[in-house]
Amino acid sequence: MVIQYFYDKSRPESAIIDKANLILKHLPTDPFPSDHAAVSAAIAMATMLRGLKYRDRRFLRTSLLFWIFCLIMSFSRVAVAIHRPTDILVGRGVGIGSALLVSHPTVQSFFSTKLFTPLIAFENKLTTLLFERK
């Protein structure tokens, strides 16, 4: 969503004269890059990376299914004039890049030590204070 603040790009539907016949009506938001494409590509890529890392065929098959859904969803977003193809391509790039970044061992280690471990310790302490019977 940060990228959307730097680019002012209109949706393709703005060029349509008779807006009453639009297939899909939605809130007017910035289309570039496509959030739908980014999230779906991130999920598909993360699933594929997990399958490759652990040689898990179930995850690899599931990632193939996610990639198919990602393609169908992306095509439909262009077909109903909500996005241009460039919105979809950049959104997919953001999603794939995000999944690759988060799956990097250095990033995982940082999140684990700086965020998750302190958060879990806080949660355990809070749960003990709130629910421990004396």
Mean pLDDT of 91-105: 92
Residue 81 has pLDDT above 90, yes or no: no
Give the pTM: 0.71
Give yes or no: residues 114 and 86 share one domain: no
Residue 13 falls within a domain, yes or no?
A: no
Count other C-beta atoms under 10 Å from residue 3's C-beta. Answer: 13
Give yes or no: residues 64 and 86 share one domain: yes
Mean pLDDT of 1-10: 61
Q: Rounded to whole angstroms, how far apart are CA atoms 128 and 121?
A: 11
Give yes or no: residues 56 and 43 share one domain: yes
Select from 92, 2, 80 the least CA-distant residue to 45.
92
Give yes or no: residues 96 and 115 share one domain: no
The range of the structural domain enclosing residue 77 comes to 32-103
Q: In this structure, what is the dihedral angle of CA atoms 22, 28, 33, 34, given to the nearest 10 degrees?
A: -50
Mean pLDDT of 84-101: 92
Give yes or no: residues 64 and 89 share one domain: yes
Mean pLDDT of 20-31: 60
Give yes or no: residues 42 and 52 share one domain: yes
